[in-house]
Amino acid sequence: MPRAAQWPPKGSRQAALLARLDIHRSEDLILHLPLRYEDETHLTPIGLAQIGTSTQIEVKILSCEVTWPRRQLLARLRDEAGSEIVARWINFYPSLQKQLTPGRRVRLFGEMRGGFFGVEMVHPRLRLVDKGESLPRTLTPVYPTTAGLGQVTLRRLLDAALETVPLDEPLPIAIRQRLALPGFAEAIHALHHAAPNDVHTLEEHEHPAWRRIKFEELLAQQLSLRRAYNARRAHEAVRLPPCRTLTHALHERLPFALTSAQRRVMDEIAADLAVPHPMQRLLQGDVGSGKTIVAAFAMLQAAESGWQAALMAPTEILAEQHYRKLAAWLDPLGIGIAWLSGGRRKRERDAELARLRSGKCLLAVGTHALIETPVDLPRLALAVVDEQHRFGVRQRLALRDKGAAGVRPHMLMMSATPIPRTLAMTHYADLDVSTLDELPQGRTPVHTRLASTARRMEIIARLKADCLEGRQAYWVCPLIEESEALQLKTVLETWETLKEALPELRVGVIHGRLKAEEKAVAMAAFAAGELHVLVATTVIEVGVDVPRASLMVIEHAERFGLAQLHQLRGRVGRGTAQSSCVLLYEPPLSGTARARLKVIFEHSDGFAIAREDLRIRGPGEFIGARQSGLPLLRYADLERDDALIEPACEVANELLANDPEAVEKLLARWLGGREGLLRA
Ligand code: ADP
Ligand code: MG
pLDDT at 620: 63
CA 80 to chain centroid: 56
φ/ψ of 583, rounded to 5, equals: -100, 105
Cα–ligand 2 centroid distance for 480 (angstroms)? 25
Map 128-141 to HEC letters. Answer: ECCCCCCCCCCCEE
Percentage, residues of the chain above pLDDT 90: 57
pLDDT at 1: 38
549 lines ligand 1 (CB under 6 A): no
263 lines ligand 1 (CB under 6 A): no
CA 236 to chain centroid: 31
CB 664 within 8 Å of CB 223: no
Pairing of strands 472-476, 549-554: parallel
**Which has the closest alpha carbon to 663: 235, 222, 17, 179?**
222
CA atoms lying within 13 Å on the CB side of residue 111: 6
Residue 8 has pLDDT above 70, yes or no: no
Q: Which amino acid is at 247?
A: T
pLDDT at 211: 96
CB 1 within 8 Å of CB 7: no
pLDDT at 3: 45
Percentage, residues of the chain above pLDDT 70: 95
Map 110-125 to HEC letters. Answer: EECEEECCEEEEECCE
* Interval 411-427: pLDDT, tens: 999 988 778 888 888 88
DSSP state, 559? G
pLDDT at 2: 42
Residue 473 has pLDDT above 50, yes or no: yes
* Interval 592-649: pLDDT, tens: 888 889 999 998 888 888 888 877 776 665 655 444 445 568 899 888 899 999 999 9
**Which has the closest alpha carbon to 542: 367, 300, 338?**
367
| Burial (CB count <10 Å: 0-12, 13-18, 19+), residue 441 | exposed
**Which has the closest alpha carbon to 111: 87, 129, 142?**
87
Query: Using alpha carbons only, what angle is made at residue 287 by residues 286 and 292, rounded to the nearest 5 degrees?
Result: 95
Cα–ligand 2 centroid distance for 543 (angstroms)? 4
**Which has the closest alpha carbon to 269: 231, 243, 305?**
243
* Interval 255-276: pLDDT, tens: 999 999 999 999 999 999 999 9
**Which has the closest alpha carbon to 581: 473, 673, 485, 502?**
473
436 Cα nearest atom in ligand 1: 2
Residue 4 has pLDDT above 80, yes or no: no
Residue 657 has pLDDT above 90, yes or no: yes
Give residue 64's pLDDT band: very low, low, confident or very high (50, 70, 90).
Answer: very high
CB 568 within 8 Å of CB 541: yes
How far apart are alpha carbons 26 and 154 in whole angstroms? 12
**Which helix (DSSP H) or strand (DSSP E) does residue 108 occupy?**
strand 105-111
pLDDT at 306: 93
Closest ligand (CA of 256): 1
φ/ψ of 17, rounded to 5, equals: -65, -40
* Interval 443-459: pLDDT, tens: 778 999 999 999 999 99
pLDDT at 426: 87
How far apart are alpha carbons 355 and 348 in whole angstroms? 11
pLDDT at 628: 45
Least-confidence region, from 3-12, 205-214, 549-558, 562-571: 3-12
Q: Which amino acid is at 185?
A: A
Within 8 A by CB and 6+ apart from 177, the residues are none
DSSP 314-361: SSHHHHHHHHHHHHHHHGGGT--EEEE-TTS-HHHHHHHHHHHHTT--
289 Cα nearest atom in ligand 1: 2
| Pocket perturbation via mutation, ligand 1, pick of 263, 286, 293 by most ligand atoms within 8 A of CB | 293
* Interval 212-247: pLDDT, tens: 999 999 999 999 989 888 988 999 999 999 877 999
Residue 5 has pLDDT above 50, yes or no: no
* Interval 138-168: pLDDT, tens: 999 999 999 999 999 999 999 999 999 999 9
Nearest-CA residue for atom 10 of ligand 1: 288
How far apart are alpha carbons 534 and 527 in whole angstroms? 10
Nearest-CA residue for atom 13 of ligand 1: 290
Cα–ligand 2 centroid distance for 296 (angstroms)? 12
CB 339 within 8 Å of CB 564: no
pLDDT at 622: 60
pLDDT at 294: 97
Mean pLDDT confidence for 517-522 = 86
